[in-house]
Amino acid sequence: MNLRRILSCILLPAYVASCTSWRVEPVSPAQVVNQDQPSTIRVTLNDGSRFELDSPVVSGDSLLGLVKDESYRQRAVLLADISRVEIRKGDALKTAGLVVGLALLAAGIASAITFAGCDGNLFCPER
């Protein structure tokens, strides 16, 4: 495997996943779903229970979606029973830190591979 492919495999997860976190939305659940159209939301009910919904939609006085768990079943919740809604948002600072950290790690690995057979000699002749 060449060096470019190794570096790509190391840096790809940083690009794909990036750093995100759940952010509480200060507006009503209906506004969040209708305006932001998130693919997934985290719902906290008035009783304190919390779950994630895929493909959320507002229908009348209810929030509908597929519960993100092993059942992946459809669930409807009255909007009045929801205490807060969160959506995933990217954090540019965390993402930049992760990318820089992974780049430094990749550079270290590349250096170790390059100088592996040099017995501590920084001016190792080409092989």
CATH, residue 56: 2.30.30.100
Asked if residue 30 belongs to a domain, the reply is yes
Asked if residue 36 belongs to a domain, the reply is yes
Asked if residue 8 belongs to a domain, the reply is no
30: confidence class by pLDDT, cuts 50, 70, 90: very high
**Mapped to the 3 state alphabet, what secondary structure does the chain carry?**
CCHHHHHHHHHHHHHHHCCEEEEECCCCHHHHHHHHCCCEEEEEECCCCEEEEEEEEEECCEEEEEECCCCCCEEEEEHHHEEEEEEEEECHHHHHHHHHHHHHHHHHHHHHHHCCCCCCCCCCCCC
Q: What is the mean pLDDT of the chain?
A: 82
For the entire predicted model, the pTM comes to 0.60
Total structural domains in the chain? 1
Asked if residue 60 belongs to a domain, the reply is yes
What is the domain extent for residue 93? 21-114
Decide if pLDDT at 24 tops 80. yes
